[in-house]
Amino acid sequence: MSGQATQLQRLEIMVESGLGRVRLDDYLFARFGSLSRMYLRDLVRTNQVQVNGDYPNIGTKLRANDFIEIAVDMSRGTSMQPEDIPLSIIYEDSYIVVVDKPTGMLVHPTHRDKNGTLLNALTFYLNKANIINGEHQKPRIRPGLVHRLDRETSGLMVIAKSVDVHRRLGRELIKKRVEKRYVALVDGLIKDDDGTIELPIGRYAEKKLWDIKEDGKVSVTRYRVIDRFTNTTLVELEPVTGRTNQLRIHCASVGHPIVGDVQRGGAPYSRLCLHACKLGFLHPQSNSRVEFVSSIPESFFNR
């Protein structure tokens, strides 16, 4: 039987103290930051992992000083490699980091763009103090995306530092307990000071485009006018639902496309004038509400 030869390495790991009772799959996922969770789970299922000489389950709880032996193919790593890219850190503690993403930066690598993304930058930033002589002294922190922003959208994002925190924040997002506000500069003068846009959004497969669609999903955006200029309006947007490209689609659908959103009729500009300006949620450790704000970018008005 022919096939591509694997490059298995046999590694021995002693579980460090101070982690509490952590699941084996979570520990491996944190330790091998460039490998997918599916691949690591397959290693456990196919008896490529031993804990204290026994073959464990993926949910086995580890203790300090447990001895792990693993046969792993590191060439199966993803493209989320660390890169020393400047970041605007708004807040950080042992559980989360809040960043102000610049316009033009992808959030995560794709098959076309494997470098220069927010995750590449965070993988470096969160682990730089942990590397001595090129080796990780503790399990590698793998940044967990709780939500996303388009490449051209700037603003606030919260990133989890562990799988457990990622799960907790993900649940808050699903339950719609994460408050998000955006500021946008749109073409034209909006008449009403505030209002709600409620139009269904769906995907047109043949065009590979998301837009207003009769049989699409219910989509709701609230808006409030902040200021009016000669031929543009500065508005605050609240996405009550979270559909793909919702804010861009809804603004364009009522005749006020976002400046820079040329695809949907917006005036050509050096950037998309959409910025995530406010983010509020329950902190995953203290369970108290935290709130972060980011100023309107000056680049909105450098016309």
Let me know the angle formed at the C-alpha of 120 by 45 and 151, rounded to the nearest 5 degrees.
Answer: 110
* Pairing outcome for strands 274-282 and 154-160: parallel
Residue 209, domain CATH: 3.30.2350.10
Tens digits of per-residue pLDDT, 12-63? Answer: 888 877 667 788 988 887 777 667 777 888 899 889 999 998 999 988 999 8
237 in the same domain as 257:
yes
Range of the domain at 96: 89-174
Residue 142 pLDDT class (50, 70, 90 cuts): confident
pLDDT at 232: 97
102 in the same domain as 167:
yes
- Catalytic residue, from 42, 73, 113, 150: name it: 150
Residue 157 pLDDT class (50, 70, 90 cuts): very high
- The DSSP line for 87-134 is --EEEE-SSEEEEEEPTT--SS--SS--SS-HHHHHHHHHHGGGEETT
Residue 1 lies in a domain: no
Closest listed residue to residue 249, CA positions, set 180, 178, 188, 197:
197
Residue 84 lies in a domain: no
Residue 82 lies in a domain: no
- Would residue 150 show up in a list of annotated catalytic residues for this protein? yes
Residues 194 and 190: their CA atoms lie apart, in Å, by 9
- Pick the more confident residue, 282 or 38: 282
